[in-house]
Amino acid sequence: MASLQSLPATHRTSFPSASSQLGLKKPAFFLRSRRGAPFLVRAEQMPVASTSPRQDRHGRRGVLTTGAIITWVSLFNQTPLTFAAETKKGFLAVLDKKDGYSFLYPFGWQEIYIEGQDKVFKDVIEPLENVSVNMFPTSRQDIRDLGPPQEVAEALIKKVLAPPSQKTKLVEAKEHDVDGKAYYTFEFIAQAPNYTRHALAAVCIGNGKFYTLTTGANERRWEKMKDKLNTVVDSFKIFNV
């Protein structure tokens, strides 16, 4: 597990309750716009320049045709993940074509910036309800090269996913396969002096990177949130870039 031990402590940022806990040098939260949000250009938004009824009829016909083409192209360019998100009530999709991963997150969570994390979404009222994705370079080709699920999960929880001051407990760790690629998913509890967080994580190796997705909630809201959080962690996929 030498590769896990060498990960820098600045990546222990899965619990954004306070900047001091996260070890951040800058304020923890900055709102930013979401990237890659799909949009459609509606025909009625396009200007119509006509000087006669006949020209007006032809102009409107052209506008409607153009609008239909734009709509068709927009739909054609959407990925299967986007359609999956539309049919999964209460969730939105993230598709990072640059880094090669995708996942779903609950509708209403906002994207924020946390130093050391690639992408983070959180609930503005319940800050412990969030999902974060991070990546580390690796020479390994498969997550199983690092060891069995329980061993990898315990090392990640203690060295990366929770601050050293928190008491942690691994609940369950397992392996599953998606399109020939192995993923480890695990459930754990991290106890701080003023709260307890119940969390889920998924890890995988691909594109020369070690990917981690972590999501969770305050223990007092776990029963209410666990189905949504399981949807988030189960939706995490990586693809070749």
Query: What are the tens digits of pLDDT across the range 18-71?
Result: 323 323 233 332 333 333 333 332 333 333 333 344 444 444 444 334 343 333
Q: What is the pLDDT of residue 152?
A: 97
Whole-angstrom Cα distance, residue 37 to residue 136? Answer: 26
Q: Among the residues of the chain, which ranges form H helices?
A: 2-5, 19-22, 53-77, 80-87, 149-156, 222-235
- Give 230's DSSP letter: H
Rounded (5°) CA angle 136-137-142: 95
Q: What is the pLDDT of residue 116?
A: 87
Record the tokens describing residue 142, joined without a space.
């498969």
Record the tokens describing residue 93, joined without a space.
């999709």
Please tell me the number of Cα atoms within 13 Å of 127 on its side-chain side.
12
Q: What is the pLDDT of residue 143?
A: 97
Whole-angstrom Cα distance, residue 37 to residue 74? Answer: 12
Contact 175, 182 (CB under 8 A): yes
What is the domain partition of the chain in residue ranges?
A: 2-27+84-238, 43-77
pTM: 0.68
Sequential DSSP letters for 35-66? SS------GGGS----SSHHHHHHHHHHHHHH
Phi-psi region at 90: left, alpha or beta (left = phi > 0; alpha = psi -120 to 50): left
Q: Output the tens digit of pLDDT for each of the chain's 241 residues.
A: 445 544 433 344 443 333 233 232 333 323 333 333 333 323 333 333 333 444 444 444 443 343 433 333 333 344 444 444 445 889 999 999 999 999 999 999 999 999 989 999 999 999 999 999 999 999 999 999 999 999 999 999 999 999 999 999 999 999 999 999 999 999 999 999 999 999 999 999 999 999 999 999 999 999 999 999 999 999 999 999 9
Q: Which amino acid, 132?
A: S
End-to-end CA distance of the chain: 26
Domain 2-27+84-238 bears CATH identifier 3.40.1000.10: yes
Please tell me the number of Cα atoms within 13 Å of 235 on its side-chain side.
25
